[in-house]
Amino acid sequence: MYKFRRATDEERNAWRGGTHHIWGLEPAGENDFALFFGKAITIFGQPDEISDDWECMYSYLIIAEDEQGNEILLEVYHGPSGSAIGGMDGDDYKQASEELGQLILSAEPSDYEWEGVYYDIPVNIKYTVKDGKAYTESSFPEDMDPEDFM
């Protein structure tokens, strides 16, 4: 069993980035991504980093501490594949990621609104969570046919 807390400024500054083990939402869609972020906000507050780029929407650095006092650094983030938790390889990282994922999924989502762009297409995206429900909107540039991307 792990306890979770946000990383301190010092721990964040020492972090070099990059994760190997990835725990992601399966299956997931836009509403799931929107709700996951709202649930992360409930547990950890506003993220360490937030962007208008859908592929790097937000990031939290989280410390997982086991019963023996060993600490593991995890990243809760929204990346190119959507909402995820990253850590290094090893059974302890996998277990901590799974526990953190379940903790976040069990939370009630906070209300928020986020607007950004999926720059690869590009498409404007808006996530809104209000009263526990997720709403997503997408808009393509006028000169694009959305059917080309479905």
Domain region containing 101: 3-110
Instruction: Identify whether the C-beta of residue 103 lies closer than 8 Å to the C-beta of residue 4.
Output: yes
**pLDDT, tens only, 29-53:** 899 999 999 999 999 999 999 999 9
**pLDDT, tens only, 54-78:** 999 999 999 999 999 999 999 999 9
Whether 62 maps to a domain, the answer reads yes
pTM score above 0.75: yes
Instruction: Identify whether the C-beta of residue 112 lies closer than 8 Å to the C-beta of residue 130.
Output: no
Domain count, the chain: 1
What's the one-letter identity of residue 112?
A: Y
Whether 133 maps to a domain, the answer reads no
| Alpha carbon 127 to chain centroid, angstroms | 13
Whether 21 maps to a domain, the answer reads yes
